[in-house]
Amino acid sequence: MHIQNFYIQSIRKQLLIGFFVGLWVFIFFYYVEPFDMYELPPPDRIFAVFGYTAVGILTYIFTIPIQRLLYKLAGTWTFLQEGLFILSLLIIGGGIGYLFFKFILLENDPYAHTFSYFFFQNVIPTVFLMIPVIIFLRWMFSEKTIVETTSDTKERVIVIKGENKAEVLHIKETELVFIESANNYVKVFYILNDELKSELFRNKISVLQKEFPFLLKTHRSFLINPIHFLEWKRESSQTILILKPETTEIPVSKTYKKLLVEKFINPAE
Protein backbone atom coordinates (compact mmCIF):
# COMPACT_ATOMS: atom_id res chain seq x y z
CA MET A 1 0.00 0.00 0.00
CA HIS A 2 1.38 3.39 -1.02
CA ILE A 3 1.26 6.32 1.42
CA GLN A 4 2.66 8.97 -0.93
CA ASN A 5 1.33 11.90 1.07
CA PHE A 6 3.72 11.17 3.95
CA TYR A 7 6.79 11.65 1.77
CA ILE A 8 7.85 15.29 1.43
CA GLN A 9 10.33 16.29 -1.25
CA SER A 10 10.72 19.92 -0.15
CA ILE A 11 13.69 20.50 2.19
CA ARG A 12 12.10 23.73 3.43
CA LYS A 13 8.97 21.90 4.54
CA GLN A 14 11.05 19.17 6.17
CA LEU A 15 12.99 21.80 8.15
CA LEU A 16 9.69 23.37 9.25
CA ILE A 17 8.56 19.97 10.51
CA GLY A 18 11.86 19.66 12.39
CA PHE A 19 11.23 23.04 14.02
CA PHE A 20 7.70 22.06 15.14
CA VAL A 21 9.00 18.73 16.43
CA GLY A 22 11.47 20.69 18.54
CA LEU A 23 8.67 22.94 19.79
CA TRP A 24 6.63 19.90 20.84
CA VAL A 25 9.69 18.41 22.61
CA PHE A 26 10.20 21.70 24.46
CA ILE A 27 6.60 21.76 25.71
CA PHE A 28 6.66 18.07 26.65
CA PHE A 29 9.95 18.24 28.57
CA TYR A 30 9.13 21.56 30.23
CA TYR A 31 5.81 20.42 31.70
CA VAL A 32 6.20 16.64 32.06
CA GLU A 33 9.89 16.57 33.13
CA PRO A 34 10.67 13.00 31.98
CA PHE A 35 14.08 11.27 32.31
CA ASP A 36 14.08 12.01 36.09
CA MET A 37 14.56 15.70 35.31
CA TYR A 38 12.74 16.69 38.50
CA GLU A 39 15.84 15.55 40.42
CA LEU A 40 17.99 18.21 38.72
CA PRO A 41 18.53 21.72 40.16
CA PRO A 42 16.34 24.36 38.45
CA PRO A 43 19.14 25.81 36.25
CA ASP A 44 20.16 22.32 35.06
CA ARG A 45 16.50 21.48 34.47
CA ILE A 46 16.08 24.44 32.11
CA PHE A 47 19.34 23.55 30.38
CA ALA A 48 18.08 19.98 29.92
CA VAL A 49 14.82 21.20 28.37
CA PHE A 50 16.65 23.28 25.74
CA GLY A 51 19.20 20.51 25.22
CA TYR A 52 16.61 17.83 24.51
CA THR A 53 14.74 20.30 22.29
CA ALA A 54 17.89 20.62 20.19
CA VAL A 55 18.21 16.82 20.17
CA GLY A 56 14.66 16.53 18.80
CA ILE A 57 15.31 19.05 16.01
CA LEU A 58 18.66 17.50 15.05
CA THR A 59 17.18 14.00 15.07
CA TYR A 60 14.50 14.92 12.54
CA ILE A 61 16.94 16.92 10.37
CA PHE A 62 19.33 13.96 10.24
CA THR A 63 16.51 11.73 8.94
CA ILE A 64 15.87 13.99 5.91
CA PRO A 65 18.63 12.48 3.72
CA ILE A 66 17.58 9.02 4.93
CA GLN A 67 14.01 9.67 3.78
CA ARG A 68 15.23 10.91 0.39
CA LEU A 69 17.41 7.82 -0.02
CA LEU A 70 14.58 5.45 0.93
CA TYR A 71 12.25 7.14 -1.56
CA LYS A 72 14.88 7.15 -4.32
CA LEU A 73 15.64 3.45 -3.86
CA ALA A 74 11.97 2.39 -3.83
CA GLY A 75 10.54 5.01 -6.21
CA THR A 76 7.55 5.32 -3.89
CA TRP A 77 6.67 5.61 -0.21
CA THR A 78 5.01 2.67 1.54
CA PHE A 79 4.51 1.46 5.10
CA LEU A 80 7.92 -0.21 4.82
CA GLN A 81 9.65 3.12 4.13
CA GLU A 82 7.64 4.78 6.91
CA GLY A 83 8.69 2.03 9.31
CA LEU A 84 12.36 2.42 8.35
CA PHE A 85 12.00 6.17 8.84
CA ILE A 86 10.64 5.64 12.37
CA LEU A 87 13.45 3.18 13.08
CA SER A 88 15.99 5.80 12.01
CA LEU A 89 14.30 8.28 14.38
CA LEU A 90 14.76 5.84 17.24
CA ILE A 91 18.39 5.08 16.50
CA ILE A 92 19.50 8.65 15.77
CA GLY A 93 17.45 10.11 18.65
CA GLY A 94 18.81 7.51 21.03
CA GLY A 95 22.40 8.14 20.04
CA ILE A 96 22.29 11.94 20.15
CA GLY A 97 20.12 11.95 23.29
CA TYR A 98 22.49 9.67 25.18
CA LEU A 99 25.54 11.72 24.19
CA PHE A 100 23.83 14.84 25.51
CA PHE A 101 22.62 13.05 28.66
CA LYS A 102 25.93 11.45 29.65
CA PHE A 103 28.63 13.81 28.41
CA ILE A 104 26.98 17.24 28.57
CA LEU A 105 24.12 17.14 31.07
CA LEU A 106 25.83 14.84 33.62
CA GLU A 107 29.39 15.66 32.50
CA ASN A 108 30.40 12.01 32.05
CA ASP A 109 29.11 10.91 35.47
CA PRO A 110 30.28 7.28 35.97
CA TYR A 111 26.97 6.51 37.71
CA ALA A 112 24.86 7.63 34.77
CA HIS A 113 22.47 5.15 33.15
CA THR A 114 23.86 2.78 30.55
CA PHE A 115 22.95 3.35 26.91
CA SER A 116 20.64 0.30 26.80
CA TYR A 117 18.71 1.50 29.88
CA PHE A 118 18.49 5.04 28.52
CA PHE A 119 17.37 3.82 25.08
CA PHE A 120 14.67 1.36 26.18
CA GLN A 121 13.38 3.24 29.22
CA ASN A 122 13.57 6.80 27.92
CA VAL A 123 14.06 7.11 24.17
CA ILE A 124 11.56 4.53 22.86
CA PRO A 125 8.58 5.80 24.95
CA THR A 126 9.40 9.42 24.03
CA VAL A 127 9.72 8.75 20.29
CA PHE A 128 6.43 6.86 20.22
CA LEU A 129 4.75 9.80 21.96
CA MET A 130 6.19 12.01 19.21
CA ILE A 131 5.01 9.83 16.30
CA PRO A 132 1.34 11.04 16.21
CA VAL A 133 2.57 14.65 16.14
CA ILE A 134 5.12 13.88 13.42
CA ILE A 135 2.54 12.04 11.30
CA PHE A 136 0.13 14.97 11.60
CA LEU A 137 2.86 17.45 10.62
CA ARG A 138 3.97 15.31 7.67
CA TRP A 139 0.37 15.05 6.47
CA MET A 140 -0.21 18.78 6.92
CA PHE A 141 2.90 19.77 4.92
CA SER A 142 2.51 17.09 2.26
CA GLU A 143 1.38 17.61 -1.32
CA LYS A 144 -2.32 16.75 -1.52
CA THR A 145 -3.05 14.94 -4.75
CA ILE A 146 -6.54 14.96 -6.25
CA VAL A 147 -7.25 11.57 -7.78
CA GLU A 148 -9.88 11.41 -10.49
CA THR A 149 -11.85 8.16 -10.48
CA THR A 150 -13.84 6.64 -13.30
CA SER A 151 -16.38 3.86 -13.56
CA ASP A 152 -14.44 2.46 -16.51
CA THR A 153 -12.16 -0.15 -14.99
CA LYS A 154 -10.27 -0.74 -18.25
CA GLU A 155 -7.32 1.62 -18.55
CA ARG A 156 -6.61 3.17 -21.90
CA VAL A 157 -3.68 1.58 -23.73
CA ILE A 158 -1.60 3.79 -26.03
CA VAL A 159 0.74 2.75 -28.81
CA ILE A 160 3.98 4.67 -29.38
CA LYS A 161 5.63 4.08 -32.75
CA GLY A 162 8.85 5.05 -34.48
CA GLU A 163 9.69 5.29 -38.17
CA ASN A 164 11.02 1.75 -38.04
CA LYS A 165 8.19 -0.81 -38.03
CA ALA A 166 9.90 -2.69 -35.20
CA GLU A 167 9.75 0.38 -32.95
CA VAL A 168 6.42 -0.17 -31.19
CA LEU A 169 5.56 0.20 -27.50
CA HIS A 170 2.18 -0.73 -26.00
CA ILE A 171 1.68 0.79 -22.54
CA LYS A 172 -1.15 2.09 -20.38
CA GLU A 173 -1.68 5.83 -20.48
CA THR A 174 -0.88 6.10 -16.76
CA GLU A 175 2.43 4.27 -17.27
CA LEU A 176 3.85 6.93 -19.58
CA VAL A 177 5.90 9.41 -17.50
CA PHE A 178 7.61 11.75 -19.96
CA ILE A 179 9.18 12.02 -23.42
CA GLU A 180 12.50 13.68 -24.17
CA SER A 181 13.67 14.81 -27.60
CA ALA A 182 17.14 13.66 -28.67
CA ASN A 183 18.04 15.06 -32.11
CA ASN A 184 16.08 12.93 -34.62
CA TYR A 185 14.94 10.57 -31.88
CA VAL A 186 12.69 10.66 -28.84
CA LYS A 187 13.35 8.87 -25.57
CA VAL A 188 10.16 7.55 -23.99
CA PHE A 189 10.21 7.04 -20.21
CA TYR A 190 7.58 4.74 -18.75
CA ILE A 191 6.87 2.58 -15.70
CA LEU A 192 7.28 -1.17 -15.88
CA ASN A 193 7.00 -3.32 -12.74
CA ASP A 194 7.29 -0.18 -10.57
CA GLU A 195 10.59 0.80 -12.24
CA LEU A 196 11.29 3.69 -14.61
CA LYS A 197 12.32 2.35 -18.03
CA SER A 198 13.14 4.08 -21.31
CA GLU A 199 13.02 3.25 -25.03
CA LEU A 200 14.49 5.15 -27.99
CA PHE A 201 12.34 5.80 -31.10
CA ARG A 202 13.10 7.54 -34.36
CA ASN A 203 10.36 10.16 -34.28
CA LYS A 204 9.74 13.84 -33.56
CA ILE A 205 8.43 15.18 -30.26
CA SER A 206 5.97 17.43 -32.15
CA VAL A 207 4.39 14.35 -33.77
CA LEU A 208 3.89 12.64 -30.41
CA GLN A 209 2.47 15.85 -28.90
CA LYS A 210 -0.27 15.88 -31.58
CA GLU A 211 -0.87 12.17 -31.19
CA PHE A 212 -1.16 12.31 -27.39
CA PRO A 213 -2.81 15.64 -26.45
CA PHE A 214 -2.98 14.74 -22.74
CA LEU A 215 0.78 15.34 -22.51
CA LEU A 216 2.03 18.77 -21.47
CA LYS A 217 5.02 20.55 -22.97
CA THR A 218 7.43 22.00 -20.39
CA HIS A 219 10.33 22.71 -22.72
CA ARG A 220 10.98 22.39 -26.45
CA SER A 221 12.59 19.01 -25.69
CA PHE A 222 10.18 17.62 -23.06
CA LEU A 223 6.61 16.34 -22.83
CA ILE A 224 5.26 15.15 -19.47
CA ASN A 225 2.29 13.15 -18.27
CA PRO A 226 0.66 15.50 -15.69
CA ILE A 227 -0.51 12.67 -13.43
CA HIS A 228 3.12 12.09 -12.41
CA PHE A 229 3.69 15.68 -11.25
CA LEU A 230 5.12 15.84 -7.71
CA GLU A 231 6.23 19.43 -7.06
CA TRP A 232 8.11 22.50 -8.23
CA LYS A 233 11.78 23.14 -7.66
CA ARG A 234 13.86 26.23 -8.32
CA GLU A 235 17.61 26.33 -8.91
CA SER A 236 19.01 29.84 -9.44
CA SER A 237 16.99 31.24 -12.36
CA GLN A 238 15.88 27.80 -13.62
CA THR A 239 12.42 26.42 -12.82
CA ILE A 240 12.17 22.64 -12.63
CA LEU A 241 9.30 20.16 -12.32
CA ILE A 242 9.74 17.05 -10.20
CA LEU A 243 8.04 13.91 -11.50
CA LYS A 244 7.28 10.64 -9.75
CA PRO A 245 8.22 7.84 -9.29
CA GLU A 246 11.98 8.50 -9.16
CA THR A 247 11.94 12.26 -8.46
CA THR A 248 13.00 12.99 -12.03
CA GLU A 249 13.83 16.64 -12.74
CA ILE A 250 12.31 18.19 -15.88
CA PRO A 251 13.32 21.71 -17.02
CA VAL A 252 10.65 24.36 -17.58
CA SER A 253 11.15 27.13 -20.12
CA LYS A 254 9.60 30.60 -19.79
CA THR A 255 7.40 29.91 -22.83
CA TYR A 256 5.42 27.19 -21.04
CA LYS A 257 5.79 28.21 -17.40
CA LYS A 258 2.58 30.28 -17.18
CA LEU A 259 0.39 27.48 -18.55
CA LEU A 260 2.01 24.94 -16.23
CA VAL A 261 1.51 27.18 -13.19
CA GLU A 262 -2.18 27.50 -14.06
CA LYS A 263 -2.40 23.72 -14.46
CA PHE A 264 -0.64 22.64 -11.26
CA ILE A 265 -0.86 25.59 -8.85
CA ASN A 266 -4.08 27.40 -9.80
CA PRO A 267 -6.23 24.67 -11.41
CA ALA A 268 -9.51 26.40 -10.50
CA GLU A 269 -8.60 29.76 -11.99
Q: Which amino acid is at 17?
A: I
The pLDDT assigned to 91 comes to 96
The pLDDT assigned to 151 comes to 43
- What's the rounded Cα separation, in Å, for the pair 109 and 98? 12
Phi, psi of 172 (to 5 degrees): -75, 150
- Listed in sequence order, the residues at least 6 apart from 254 whose beta carbon sits closer than 8 Å to its beta carbon are none
Closest CA to 201 of 143, 159, 244: 159
Query: What's the pTM value of the predicted model, to 2 decimals?
Result: 0.57
The pLDDT assigned to 3 comes to 53
- What's the rounded Cα separation, in Å, for the pair 115 and 161? 62
First to last CA, the chain: 33
Fold of 157-264: OB fold (Dihydrolipoamide Acetyltransferase, E2P) (2.40.50)
Q: Which amino acid is at 1?
A: M
- Listed in sequence order, the residues at least 6 apart from 162 whose beta carbon sits closer than 8 Å to its beta carbon are 168, 201, 202, 203
- What's the rounded Cα separation, in Å, for the pair 175 and 196? 9
The pLDDT assigned to 182 comes to 87
The pLDDT assigned to 108 comes to 84
Q: Which amino acid is at 62?
A: F
What are the helix (H) ranges across 203-250? 205-211
- What's the rounded Cα separation, in Å, for the pair 140 and 13? 10
SS3 content of the chain, % helix, strand, coil (to 5): 50, 20, 25
Each of the 269 residues of the chain gets a pLDDT tens digit; together they read 455 567 787 788 899 999 999 999 999 999 998 888 888 899 999 999 999 999 999 999 999 999 988 877 876 678 888 899 999 999 999 999 999 999 999 888 888 889 999 999 999 999 888 899 998 998 888 755 444 444 444 678 999 999 888 889 999 999 999 999 988 899 999 999 889 999 999 999 999 999 999 999 999 999 999 999 988 887 777 889 999 888 899 999 989 988 888 888 655 44
Extents of the domains making up the chain: 4-141, 157-264
The pLDDT assigned to 150 comes to 44
